Amino acid sequence: MKIQTADEVVVQTYMDLPSQPKLLLPAGSCDSHVHVFGPRARFPYAASRANTPAEAPKERLFALHKKVGIARCVIVQSVTHGTDNAVVEDAIDAGQGNYLGVALTQVDVADQELRRLARRGFRAVRFHFMKHISGGNDIDDVLKLTSRLADLEMHLQVHFESSLVHTVGQQLRRSAVPVVIDHMGRVDATKGENHEDFRALMGLLDHRGFYVKVSGIDRIESTARPGSGYPLGVQLAARLVERFPQQCVWGLDWPHPNHTHIPDDGELVDALSRIAPRAELLEALLVKNPQALYRF
């Protein structure tokens, strides 16, 4: 929903009242991919942003997690706030050890700033290779940074177009640190698990330095809408969890920016019963893997 104000168009990207999920999550469950936006009076939006999402402050995130049974979380800095990571730092502080972060930086970020971010609870730095997000990065420059991340026990998180799994994805094998791939590599779920992009994604995960976020079942199934259960996205996520049970983490991707529709977070939680249908898979996905990767 778009709200026209005197100065700009503000896009509402999340449900105020998502449904209550039926699935009871394991103790210590982690949502490994969300964002926070604002409040703008304290944390201004970046001038370079492509659009203006409605404020989605930490208090709303905490309330959502309490409702659905999430105890831990990794907040990913959004291009909405650019490389000023203060909004995530504030949420980390309020999370009292149960909330950590992934930062956005320039590829030539100073060592001093990287050390500061690591001390503040950031476990990774994220880079985009997406057409709809400005400020793309050269993969060779990103790879040079990874040796400095290694010194701080930080890892690399990447968000790329599905076709880039064959090029950027292969180059990422040179990373000096573990690599986490966002949203199942943004593959097209309508093309199925035998499509070359999904096969290439699984080929990367054959190397133990790679992890994947089985978030975005609602993004990669382009024709689906709330209430559908996102069966095609679930099918690919379940395939990854079954084949790579120690290399998958999950996230709601709240508050769902740059989307075709507004998902129901309760429905996304309930989809976990089909993504990780056995207790040991769900425990690994939501508890053990995030604990090992993010070091709560």
Active-site residues, by number, are: 253
CA angle centred on 161, ends 150 and 201, rounded to 5°: 65
Pair 86, 49: CB distance under 8 Å: no
Residue 159, helix vs strand vs coil = strand
Radius of gyration of the chain (CA): 18
Can you spell out the DSSP letters for 30-87?
A: EEEEE--B--TTTSPPPTT-SSEEPPB-HHHHHHHHHHHT--EEEEEPPTTSTT-THH
Cα distance between residue 279 and residue 27, in whole Å: 12
Residues near 64 by beta carbon (within 8 Å), at least 6 away in sequence: 18, 70, 252, 254, 265
Dihedral pair phi/psi, residue 126, rounded to 5°: -110, 140
Buried (b) or exposed (e) across 92-127, using 16+ Cβ within 10 A?
beebeebbbbbbbbeeebeeeebeebbebbbbbbbb
Lookup result for tokens 């999904």 = 198
Pair 232, 271: CB distance under 8 Å: no
> In terms of C-beta density within 10 A (0-12 exposed, 13-18 middle, 19 or more buried), how is residue 10 classed?
middle
Cα distance between residue 120 and residue 87, in whole Å: 12
Q: How far is CA 124 from CA 14, 51, 155, in A?
A: 25, 25, 5
